[in-house]
Every structure is written in structure tokens, then in C-alpha cells.
Structure 1
Amino acid sequence: MDLRTALGAPETLLRPELTLIDEVPRPDLAVLLRDGRFADVGPADEVAQRHPGLTPVDLPRRLLMPGFVDTHHHLTQSFGKALAFGEPSEIFRRIWVPLEQHLNEEALHVSARLAALEALRGGFTTVCDAGTRSEHGLQALEAAVRESGIRCVLARTCNDAGLDEAAAANIVREAERHLSAHHPDGLLHASLAISIPEAASDAMLARVAALCREAGAVFQVHLNEHLASIERSLIARGRRPLEVLHHARALGPELLAAHATMVTPHELALLRDSGAAVSYNPVASSWKGNAVAPALLMHGLGIRLGLGTDGTRSDGFRLMDAAETAQRLTSGMDVGDFSTGAGWTWLSMATGAGADAAGLGRVTGRIAPGLAADALLIDLDVPELTPSWDLGWELVRLAHRGQIEAVLVQGRLRLWQGWPTDWDARALMDRARDLAREAVAAAPIQRIHLPSAQAPRPSS
């Protein structure tokens, strides 16, 4: 039986050269995949003895590791991509809102499916979608997630600023319906979101947080991302965005705060004491931010942290590299911290700690018995890892998505050598090109930065 066939079987016993267990690459282990879960994990000989009817699949020069978890994504923004490059911060007003408002149901579905494909190709088996602004709702997103086969924490947006009591009451009803919906395939996990604290009343902030707390779901909010958003909040509410949440009694362990790049010592204490989680988005800071979140300081304070792309680029290895690099440049170099968390910190945030931040710590993020078999098979026989001295560090700084041989979500082979096994990705890409051209042409997008072909060049 060849490897691809073996990975597609309902029950498979894998014996990779290395298995990543809690950020430590361990040799001589075997992993049994059954019914979409890791059914057994342990010393290879012992696991083989417990399952004499199965022939182990030897995987020399390969690493089996948990799939990456993207704790902050916007699945409906994949049509924009480079339209946002070189732009000032808060591009949502000039690019994302106009674009999403001009996506019909098909475009919404294709955009989300394209984003899910990109995520899977980058090693992400789970993404947290922060809520769409499209009037077409979540059905297209749900279909895209199921068809692509990625795990998704899917938020319903609950903004009520400027709405009357009847409209606010309807938002709460829809939120309750979203949280109570049953998803038999196990890939969709309901969440609620408010875009930014000022987009909702104190009453709605408190109600949404309480609903999520009661349902065991995460409450997603963009928080303290840009200077402009902090100033607007101070003018409108007399408080910084994080302080607005605290005042509204909406700051608790159910919170998944995206960005938190500009936080005061007092706000760090609030995050720590509340048990809230933060999605650290280093590439977003690099491309369009005013600051880099003090992730190492947060980590040292015991604040729960995961890594997020913010829909920038879906590549788990490059995300870990960016996370470590940003901390080294902004906080490590000045104080002689040459380790800046070391490889294991960023591996944890990209996998197990990220799953915890997303409210899925009991579902995914680690290779352990009973958890969903969301995993990557990594080819280690590459020049970049030859010789290999410290694989934990090397995965953060040297590995790349081209080494991902297989992507499994809930035990099912979703991608083989970068492409889906059971649907036509290239047909999707062709349709995405057509729909994106139509949507961008119709949307009143305002760009400040000229495209590369039109930008003036310095005279020689």
C-alpha cells in the first residue's frame, strides 16, 4: 500500500521518524489514527503490540506534527490580497468593507473556499474566522468550510451601534440560534464577534460575552489594533477599547482579542487577570500596523496566546518565523535576549496554545489520544534541514510549506503534496479570478498607494 492510500484509510498505524509531542520532536513513536482521532500514541513497539492486526506504515525522514491553528482570519477577504499592500492602517474602511459589500452569495462562497485552500496549503488545519460583513450571512461560509475540509471557529457578527432595541433584540436571537446550531461533521465551531468595542453598546458587549461564556464558545473582538481606533474610542466613550470591554463586563476567559498591539501596563494586567486570550498577528503588524504586540511580555505574564494571520498570508512556518523575528527586533535585541522565547514558544502558540486560545484545547492542537487527528506530515529530507541540530528551532526559522507532504483534518487526507485529494482546486481558482474582477470593479474601493506598474520612479 502506498503512503497516500494508507493515509486515506479509515484506520492507519503510522511510525514516523519523529513525532512532535508538546513541541518536542520525539523518535521511536507510533500513532494510530482511527475514526478521525488519535486513538493511540506511544512507543512504537508497544503500540504495535496493542494492535497486532495492523501493519505499521514506516515514515523515514518524516515528522508527524499537529496542524497549525490560525487564531484570527477573514475568510471573505481573499479576493483583496495585494489591494491592501502599501496602504495606511485601518484599510477596512477603504478596502474590506466596500469589497465585502459587493460579494454576492457565490462570490462569498468562492472567496471563503479559496481562503480555506490557502490555509490548508500553509499547514493550517484550523482557522478562526472573525465574522463577515456581508449581508448574505454565514451559510456560504459554512458550505465553503465543509467542502474544503478545514476546521473553523466561525463567528457571527453582533454589532448593534446605532440600531434600535428591536434590531438589537433580533441580533441576540440570531446569535443564540448560531450558537445552538448542530454541526454533525464536527468541523464547525460556533463563535460570536463584535468588530471593535465601539461598534456595539455596553449592553450588547455584555450579552454577547455572557452567551459565549454559557455556550463554551469564544467571543472575538479586534482590540487596540491601531492608534486611530484607540483615539476614536476615547472620543466616543471616554475609554480605550480594552477598557470599554472591562467596563461593560465583557472581559473574561471567553474573549479572543485580535491584535492587542497597543496596550498599557494596566491593560496587560486586565488581560492577565481576566483569563482572556490574545491572537498575536505579527505579519499584520508588519504590513499595516502601528505597533507589534508585546507577545513575549504577555507570555511571561501568563496571558493565553495564539498566532493569527489576519488573512495576510496563510503559511504556518512563515508565521512562526515572523512571530519570533518581530519580538526579537522590538524587544529582544535591546535587552540582550538572544533567545526571544526560543523555538518551542512559537511552536506552541502555532499549535496547542493556539487551540486553547481558540477554545478548542480539548479538540485539537496536539498529538494525544482522544484528540482530533488534525496533523501534518513533514518531509525532513531537504537541504534546509541538513544537517539538523535542533529541529524545534529549525521548524521556526528554516522549514517551509513546500515540505508539507500531507494535511489531515479529523483523520481525513485533505491535501496531498499541496493539492486537494477529492475536488478541483484549479477550477475554483479560475472561478475566483472571474468573480474577484467583477467584485473589485463594482466596489468603491479607495486606494492611497499606487499599483507598482503606475507608481512613479525616482529619476536617475
Structure 2
Amino acid sequence: MKYDILIKNCSVLTANYEIDENCYVAVKDNQISQIDEVDNLSTDIEAKETINGKGKLLMPGLVDAHTHTCQQLLRGRTMDEYPMVWTRILVPFESRLDEEAVSTSASLSCLEMIKNGTTSFADSGGLHMHKAAEAAIESGMRAAITKSVMDMGNFIPDTMLGSPEVIIEEIESLYKDYHGTDDRINIWFALRQVMTSSPELISKVSEKAEQYKTGLHAHLAEHRDEVSFCLQKYQKRPAEVFDEYGALGPNLLTAHNVVLSEEEIDLLHERDVKIVHCPRNNFGNHGFPKTPRMLQTGLSIGLGSDGAAGSSLSLFDEMRVFRSGIHAFWGLPIFDPKVLSAKELLEMATIGGARALQMENEIGEISVGKKADFILVDIDQPHISPTHNLINTIVEGVNGTDVEDVVINGKVIMKNREVLTLDEERIRHESTRALNRMAEKAGI
């Protein structure tokens, strides 16, 4: 039997979130074809490329289920700023982005994600999103990409606004040009948030997402101002407004979900909405979500970085921060050390994100028949090994820089920390120039 890729002598994080040691994993075309103990490796097995997995853990590629690739050039700009950062910094910056800046920003974003073990992402959109799609294609990553959608808001510049008809036409054009590219790129519809979406826009965009059988990406219940706006304008809370106009459903990915009422949590569960938390952004700006309650209802939860403006794109960091914050806020007051377990966190960063991207049948776990989207983590290091419990240590000890190799869709994208699909030196050089140019252009 001849395979495309053979990883030998590795440990494997199984679909049950257990560790199997001394394994081999074989890849044929773009799928995981075989997983077994090394002792059972047949002598007649050949591979185009063999990777030595000794001292490494093979685990699912992480899924960043909410990010902004167009904000990569804002790194370090939003910390220690007074609210509202979005209206004072992010909107002026995004509204002035040109195609060159978006292309550079998205390429740098993909580079950082790959080097931190992220293999798939959902981008909630911005301007010139065809450039983000092209960057994802070049990088080899898997992505669900959309265009930022807004048709109202006194502080939103005209460059970021559009009528429902124009917005839908633009997303349909993006869909026609890029959806299904190389089996990795999906184009979604979007609603930026309820405060910048008219009832007509919510209804029409939701209908189009259903018509195209694709996903719908939105920010929801991010902060108290959003709740106040909805109560004053609609006499309903944000999730209830989305539900009234047809947005809540199994294809909806909602980011943040911090200020949800008990009734909204039940409603989201009833509609099978996919929840995504952005821990570092939420804790730093909005508060602590009711994650233990959401898990009790059976809601699917994924993790997102929310872009690089306020932090890095490392989901390993997001897991670690999320565990500490939720434990301190919800666990310590009631003496519950397992209010959010290591296994649940790993699920959020992998299969939870896969569900958010509507791809749980294809990615998110290591099993035969799934797409070959996985990473190899160097665990033979003093901050990881030896350990009494490697699952716990993945959450508490592993960093994105411990990722040695990345395979996406059956292709080796990073080997020995070298990204093979992107010119890192060129991207970093162009990004430095673009960061300074865009900061001056946006007046930030």
C-alpha cells in the first residue's frame, strides 16, 4: 500500500480525548486512511513523505471560529484604550483599508495561525474580502469567509454601509468566485451585529444563507450597549431580535455571547445555534459568559481569537486564559474545580470549532475517514514532559510555538516550524510597511 504521508512513532489525541502512544497515521489523498500501533505497521507500506513523530503528539488542527484577518495590522493598538474601541479605532481603520492592505493583513494572519497550530478559521468579514480568500487559498488553510454586512449606524462610514440588495449581490459574487475553491474555501453570509442591521437586512441575508445552504456569521450579545439598544428599539433582547427576523438556526455562528439571559441561552439551544467565545477579548472588554450553563444545555461551543488587534492568534493561549477566567469567576465561588474541564476546552478548540464551521463530519478529530487536518506538537520538552496527565498539560502548558508540523487537506503546510506555502520574510517585510501606511491613513 502506498500513501501520501506517513507519520511514525507518534502519540495520538483520539476522538475520545485520550492519548494513544507509539502509533502511526497514514494519509491518502486528503483523508486519514489508517491509524494503528507502530508494531502493526506492515513492511509493504510506502509513502511519498514520511515524518518521524517520535516525541510528538498528533492532534486535530485547531479551529479559530471567529477572527478578523483584516485587523492584523492593528496589533498592539487597542490595549489600555477606553471604550468604545470599535467606534474610535476599529471602524476608522477598517473603513480605510485598500486591497493591498487587506491582502498583506490576511497573509500575515494565515502565517501566524499556521505557526500556532490553527488549520481552519471563520473570518467575519471586512472590505475587499476576495483578497482574504486569495490569501487563504495560497496559504493552504481551510476557511469560511464572508463580507462584513451593515446597513445602518450613525458612526459607520459610507464605505462600510450598503443596502440589503447591494450587500447580497456582493456576497453572491464572492460566493460565485471562491466558494468550494480547492475543497477548502467556503463563502458565508453575515450580519455584523444587531445594532448595525435593519430588520430587512436580517431577514434577507438569513433567507439567502438558507437558499445557498451555507453558513451565517454574526456578533451577538457582545456587550451591554447592544442589549440596551435592542430593549429600547425592539423591546426584546439581541437573540430574540435575530430570532424574530429569521436569523437563528443551525447554520448560524454567533461570536462572543457574553451578555445572554437565561431565556436567550434556551432559545439558542432550541435553534441549534453554534456558539463561539473569544476569551481574551471577552474578559478584557465585556465580561464573563455563562459558559457552564451553556454546556449544561448542550450548546455547541467553539473558540475564536477575534483577530490580532488586542492579542495573538494562538488558540492554545485562548484555552489557557479561558480556563483560568471561568474557573475564577464561576468555579472558585462554589468550590468547583471542574466547572470547565481540560477535555471540554480541547473540544471547543477542535470539534466545537468544526461544528461552528458546519464541518464536524469532515474535520475536528483524529479518526479514519476525516480530512487530514492535523498538527504535530513537540511534547518532549521540559515544560510539557514528563506529566501525570497530558490532556491537562496540553491546556495548561503547550504553546503555539510548540507546534512543529502542520498538515491541511492532506498536504504538509509546515514542517519543522517552516511554513512551506508562504514567504514569511516577504510577508513580514510588507506587513511592517503596510502597518505604518494604514495607521497614518486612518489617523490612529
Q: Please, what TM-score do these two structures have when normalized by structure 2?
A: 0.91
Larger deviation, residues 35-44 vs 432-441: 35-44
Larger deviation, residues 367-376 vs 416-425: 416-425
Counterpart of 1:221, as a letter, is A
Paired residues for 1:4-403 under 5 Å? 11-22=4-15, 23-46=17-40, 48-49=41-42, 52-54=45-47, 58-132=52-126, 134=127, 137-161=128-152, 167-181=163-177, 182-287=179-284, 289-311=285-307, 312-403=311-402
- Does the Cα contact within 8 Å between 1:89 and 1:226 map onto a contact in 2? no
- Does the Cα contact within 8 Å between 1:66 and 1:365 map onto a contact in 2? yes
User: What corresponds to 1:3 in structure 2?
Assistant: none
Distance 1:308 1:283 in 2: 9
Which digits, 9 at most, give the CA deviation of each residue in 1:351-402, with x for residues without a partner?
0121112211122111122222111111111001232111111000011122
Distance 2:384 2:261 in 1: 40
In the alignment of these two chains, the number of paired residues is 430
Distance 1:383 1:59 in 2: 18
Counterpart of 2:13, as a letter, is L
Counterpart of 1:143, as a letter, is E
Counterpart of 1:244, as a letter, is V
Which digits, 9 at most, give the CA deviation of each residue in 1:187-224, with x for residues without a partner?
21111111101322223212322332343422111111
- Check 1:119–1:442 CA distance in 2 against 1; reply closer, same or farther (3 A cut): same
Match of 1:256, SS state, is strand
- Check 1:202–1:336 CA distance in 2 against 1; reply closer, same or farther (3 A cut): same
Distance 1:233 1:108 in 2: 32
Distance 1:111 1:75 in 2: 6
1:16 is displaced (CA, Å) by: 3.5
- Check 1:27–1:216 CA distance in 2 against 1; reply closer, same or farther (3 A cut): farther
- Check 1:369–1:214 CA distance in 2 against 1; reply closer, same or farther (3 A cut): farther
Distance 2:349 2:377 in 1: 15
1:56 is displaced (CA, Å) by: 6.9
Larger deviation, residues 269-278 vs 367-376: 367-376
1:334 is displaced (CA, Å) by: 1.0
- Check 1:33–1:227 CA distance in 2 against 1; reply closer, same or farther (3 A cut): same
- Check 1:401–1:168 CA distance in 2 against 1; reply closer, same or farther (3 A cut): closer
Distance 1:324 1:37 in 2: 32
Which digits, 9 at most, give the CA deviation of each residue in 1:123-174, with x for residues without a partner?
1111110011x2xx222111111122221110123323389xx932232233
User: What corresponds to 2:440 in structure 1?
Assistant: 441
- Does the Cα contact within 8 Å between 2:139 and 2:421 map onto a contact in 1? no
Distance 1:42 1:179 in 2: 40
Segments of structure 2 that go 5 or more residues without pairing to the other structure are none
- Check 1:432–1:53 CA distance in 2 against 1; reply closer, same or farther (3 A cut): closer
Distance 1:88 1:276 in 2: 32
- Check 1:364–1:192 CA distance in 2 against 1; reply closer, same or farther (3 A cut): same
- Check 1:151–1:144 CA distance in 2 against 1; reply closer, same or farther (3 A cut): same
Distance 1:387 1:28 in 2: 16
Q: Please, what TM-score do these two structures have when normalized by structure 1?
A: 0.88
Larger deviation, residues 292-301 vs 255-264: 292-301
- Check 1:177–1:10 CA distance in 2 against 1; reply closer, same or farther (3 A cut): farther
- Does the Cα contact within 8 Å between 2:7 and 2:26 map onto a contact in 1? yes
Segments of structure 1 that go 5 or more residues without pairing to the other structure are 1-8, 446-460
Q: How large is the RMSD of aligned CA atoms in angstroms?
A: 2.2
